[in-house]
Structure 1
Amino acid sequence: MRQLGSGQSIVFCIPYDIKARIHDSRGTHEHSEIGVPDILRWAIFETWNDIKRSMPLWAVQGRRFTNQRSKWQNYQRSEQDCLTSTQAKSFLEPECLSLQQRYKPHNTGQPAPLASAQREAPDAIETRCAEVEGQESCSPSLHEEQERELAPEIQTERQKHRPPPAEPAIHRVHSDLCSFIETGVLKLPSEAYGPAFASIQDTSAPLYVDLHQFGPGLMVTTDFTKTIKVPRRGSSVMDAYQRPVRFILTAAPSKERDTTDEEDGILIISPHEANMLMPHITKSTAVTIHLYSPRQNEEHGPLDGLMLFNRSRVRETRRLSPNIRLQLNLFAGQLYLASYQEYQDLCCFLGVASVPTPAGLAVAADGFIRDNANGTFRESPLSFLKFWLCQVRRDCRDIRRTHLGKIANGQVLSPSDLQASAVHCAEQSMQALYLLSN
């Protein structure tokens, strides 16, 4: 505020409620102008009122200090080297008062412990309180009590519902899996692996949809599926013991065997199998291991292109077909789509409408097309999709604002809903190509 008016200026920004209080203090109309003297006058009066409200508390602190100082001086005059326990307890103040002490009428207007302190208080404190427009120096006890009652203490305790204890399954590396790493050919039928969605028969998923309708394209190993020994008391126990998808094996393209079916040779393995067989995979010329994670955050790019952490001696990596890519993302619990074309492919795979329903087509309330002769599902899989993504893959967390959450709730997405996601995926792809080129 130095040289105010000589090169410096000040602007007062007043809210509506403060403006109304200034008018009330002046007794003027609300539309009348307010000047700088009015603002300074109101600030001075508010400061004076705050001092008056704080005087009783100041008086109590002064009495307590005077009382304790007199006790300390008396103890210092004695010939004792240290204070006794009784003398030390005399400095303590009661943390709580009884109902009689709190609400019994007193001549001084406050409880008995403070009334005794007032009798020992010097005249200077009482005189100062009387100067402040006749303020009573004994009124802060009720004020402190009201503050405690009007500020309730809210305590919340989180209770986590953990799955019931279970006995873990014993890991086992099957010989057919070792054969697949050497040759790149999946021997069917085999006890080492099976269809991905058929492997969750022990969960609550069969209550929502027939899992065999997904087809045998995507495969998982038995060690990936068996996390615990399946109890006899119910299938819902396995909902909490589903392993996340992290490691994927893909067979290399070869001229010696039929590679027209791109859905052959995609296998999800467990972390134990990846750890035990990593030395053989890195030396293999038939398979490639990939690191995968479902896209559960829109800010992160998709990893279903299998370009992350590829280890093997295979020069050419097999690309996933659209059908296998959809099954992999659904099984792993991916929540966001990369483009509008991917959204249309997913709706075609699930048999739900991706555009407003044309006339003459029977569509259920959730968007499932009932008269779809070329569809994969005979009944709506959206209830299974909501259960699988929300309860199993996301631990019952809310997914309504995600792309898959909107689809599961029967909403139709527009290209604008996926435009930002497509731009972000393009940026991620350019960054990946730049890193690979360098």
Structure 2
Amino acid sequence: MSNYNEVLSRNTENAPKGNGLYSQTVAFSHYNNLSAQLPIDPKSGEVVDGGIKEQAEQCFKNIKAIVESIDHVMNDIVKITVYVKNIKDVDAINEVYKTFFTSYLPTRTVVEVKDLPMNSLVQIDALLSNGEGTIPNAPQSGDLIKLTNNTSNAPNCSLSTQTVAFSHYNNISAQLPIDPKSGRIVATDVKEQAKQCLKNIKAILESVDVPFDDIVKINIYLKNISDIEAVNEVYKTFFPDSAIARAVNYVPARTVVAAEALPMDALVQIDAVVSYGDGTPPQVIEDRHGIIIEANNTENAPKDSLSTQTVAFSHYNHISAQLPIDPKSGKLVSGGVKEQAEQCLKNIKEIIESVDHAMEDVVKVNIFCKNIADVAAINEAYKTFFPEGVPARTVVAVSDLPMDALVQIDAVAGNAEGTPPIV
């Protein structure tokens, strides 16, 4: 019997298959990572007939089929990400959404993207709690609880919870630049909007007694990629946040993409993944206290002063989005999208191997490309890195990427050894 968690990938006939490229769900320790679900009828393999409501319903049906196939329920979902072709369709999606989450509400991110596979109108992925863990023949605490919280010091939404903690992580709903007192978007300047997003995240964390420097991953969605420099000016005033973090220059892993549009016509939206050292009850005391964040950079992958290449906490490593940059030259590689995808994955491989892990430890991959028609070429490179098709996966086409790249890829990897407690 092993004392370590294992990567556990599973598929069901009741949801669309990944054609050998990805698994429907990949569990590791206390979380299940689901592949983004398109509105595909699993019997026909085609997008369902109808409009946005029918497509959203099929996405959720597919998620529910996957969740139930591994003996879980929809209320075990801690985070939902909705990628939509037209932000105006969100109201229709919400009508469907409320039929699948009638009492408990997970955290949520909504983004309009440029395009989706199979010309779909919507695609939805999910993160699921996994109380039993994945140590072979040795179930962990099956009665871990979710801790949900909302504070009046950040914007409230009737369709999402501000933060949902499970085991050693908090997942934060995407924060728009909304003043929580007025309920309105702050000034039209992107710097002020970025500041408000981060202030909202900080308020949420303070409401659950978690410091800002416990953030391990940040996702920034911009209306215009050219705004990134202005956003970075604000970002640097929030990270690092404490004297301890400043001493080691700690910054979270990070992904930046340009969205086609954001809710409320915002210029920026930010969500976060946060470490939670105390865990959620009833984890035993020795499993809860003093777990540390382990941040790492390697010379063999591109460095960025505003992000750490990999941030590990407990049983997960969070990898910053990798652009197709040659780490020696600091420039985009030559060639087309296949060569760029290969370089992104090479960079991820170098990062993972630098912390004594392997690509087989990857549980989730997110691919952001400029043109959805490029996915076939991206897949050619992808299959050489993941021949078993194990990680869960999400693919979307976005408006723009940093450095005018054609593709950008981030990843989450299992960390079997955990991060040791402070002795």
Scaled by the length of structure 2, the TM-score of the pair is: 0.23
| Greater helix fraction, Structure 1 or Structure 2 | 1
| TM-score normalised by the chain length of structure 1 | 0.22
The structure, 1 or 2, with the larger RCO (C-alpha pairs under 8 Å, 6+ apart) is 2
Which one has a larger percent strand, Structure 1 or Structure 2?
Answer: 2
